[in-house]
Amino acid sequence: MKAEIIATGTEILLGQTLNTSAHYITGKLSELGIEVDFHTTVGDNQDRVEAVLKQALNRSDLVLTTGGTGPTVDDMTKELVAKVLGLKMQLDKDSLERVQHFFSSRGSVMPKTEEKEVYFPEGSQILTNDHGTAPGAILQSQGKTVVILPGPPSEMKPMFDHDVFPFLEKLVFSGSGRMYSRVIKSFGWGESKIEQALQDLMGNDQLGMSLLAKSSEMHIRLVVRSDDEQHALEVLDKNERIIRERLGAGVFGKDDETMLRIVNSILLSRGLTIATAESCTGGLLGASLSQEPGSSETYLGGVVSYSNSLKEGFLGVKSQTLQMYGAVSPETVREMAAGVKERSGADLAVGITGIAGPGGGSNEKPVGLVYIGLATPEGVQANKFQFQGQRESVRQLSVMAALDLVRQYLLKVERSTL
């Protein structure tokens, strides 16, 4: 199945809005084995939108549109889809009632212009919008499938996940069994290293495996197609066990689990607290730790000690340490972690210092060099990392590495108490 994604909106062409929807939809379609041949962005112009739709329906089996579903005059996607396919527009009464309720529940009357949102090409399967007013639609006509989605990602993504993905899954795999999938998440292992470790698991008829490189982690996606759910789950469980055995601590979670959520969950379950002392990350670790629900019970706070004077004054790092070893050193990061642990009274503490770049590096201490200290009741350890990439990438990888060190320590403590 060949697919094309059309984004409508002059604001995208002007660079005022980033088209994240095309990136998201392409990733989801790839999970289904649907190849996206074209990304098209077109402004809010009737003639150009119509021409783009004609071209897409001529060369692609599946066309997905984002934007142009609202109540204004320049929202014309549905109308032009109907025109190109030779279909009439019809009022959907259920959608009208939902939009009317949307406004009445907020103490107002639905504007007359909103009625435009509840007309669709005849034969459409209507997709409810639980995060806005403009519904979406799926239309199959003349051997083509057209998916019409709202423009805002906050509305588009839930609609795609809840309605469109299951529809396409049935469309693609009709007659070949249901698809069961699982994503194993890894940190600290590169794509080639993982591929080498799992080479014998790839390319067999029973299990589909793909490696997806994310910004700071690797995802191993397993897919089994079967009419027997128990058999499919057994295959997934077996291969997950093998992957965990081979990658060891490199696997931190699966599916919807995140490193941050795992760390926060373990801290909560054990009643432990944590504090941070950051230099090159500028508070990113602290900001991350405060994101999760319940973080007020686990994260006591942190110090952003960019300068040496703050490292000395706030954290108690010795001036001799800074003079002898420098701010980016295992000696300094140990004292940063120990200092914030002592001053905060936290059970655990993390210190981060490094060279995020693009300047400031040397042959001895290159850009991307980061030291992360972890202070625990057993003592203080310093860990060296050499990250690659631009400044923001180094900072994000540093946060991920710090969380992973905390995770591995907590799991080690859990195992020792069993």
What's the pLDDT tens digit per position in 339-358?
A: 999 999 999 999 999 999 99
Rounded Cα–Cα distance for residues 277 and 326 (Å): 16
In contact, 48 and 42? CB cutoff 8 Å: yes
Mean pLDDT of the chain: 94
Is residue 351 within 8 A of residue 373, CB to CB? The reply is: yes
pLDDT tens sequence across 180-199: 889 999 999 999 999 999 99
Q: Report the distance separating Cα 332 and Cα 310, nearest Å.
A: 13
d(C-alpha 181, C-alpha 169), whole Å: 12
Q: Which amino acid is at 34?
A: I
Average confidence (pLDDT) over 6-27: 93
Q: Pairing state of beta strands 299-304 and 274-278?
A: parallel
Q: For the residues 42-57, what does the mean pLDDT come to?
A: 97
Q: Partners of 118 in the beta sheet?
A: none
Instruction: Please compute the mean of the pLDDT values over residues 42-52 and round it to a whole number.
Output: 96
β strands within 187-308, DSSP E: 208-213, 218-226, 251-254, 274-278, 299-304
Whole-number pLDDT of residue 175: 57
C-beta separation of 20 from 30 below 8 A: no
Q: State the Cα–Cα distance between residues 382 and 349, nearest whole angstrom.
A: 12
Q: Report in angstroms the alpha-carbon separations of 301 from 4, 117, 409.
A: 47, 47, 20
Q: Which tens digits make up the pLDDT trace of 259-284?
A: 999 999 999 999 999 999 999 999 99
> Would you call 304 helix, strand, or coil by DSSP?
strand
The 10s digit of each residue's pLDDT in 279-336 is 999 999 999 999 999 999 999 999 999 999 999 999 999 999 999 999 999 999 999 9
pLDDT band at 176 (very low <50, low <70, confident <90, very high): low
Residue 53: CB atoms within 10 Å: 24
| pLDDT band for position 177 (cuts 50, 70, 90) | low
For the segment 111-132, what is each residue's pLDDT rounded down to a tens digit? 999 999 999 999 999 999 999 9
Paired residues of 348 in beta bridges: 274
pLDDT band at residue 34 using 50, 70 and 90 as cut-offs: confident
pTM over 0.85: no
Closest C-alpha among 276, 293, 311 to residue 403:
276
The pLDDT tens digits for 197-227 are 999 998 777 888 888 888 899 999 998 888 8
Query: What order do you get walking across the sheet with 348-354 strand by strand?
Result: 299-304, 274-278, 348-354, 369-376, 379-386
Residues 6+ apart with CB under 8 A from 124: 90, 92, 137, 138, 139, 148
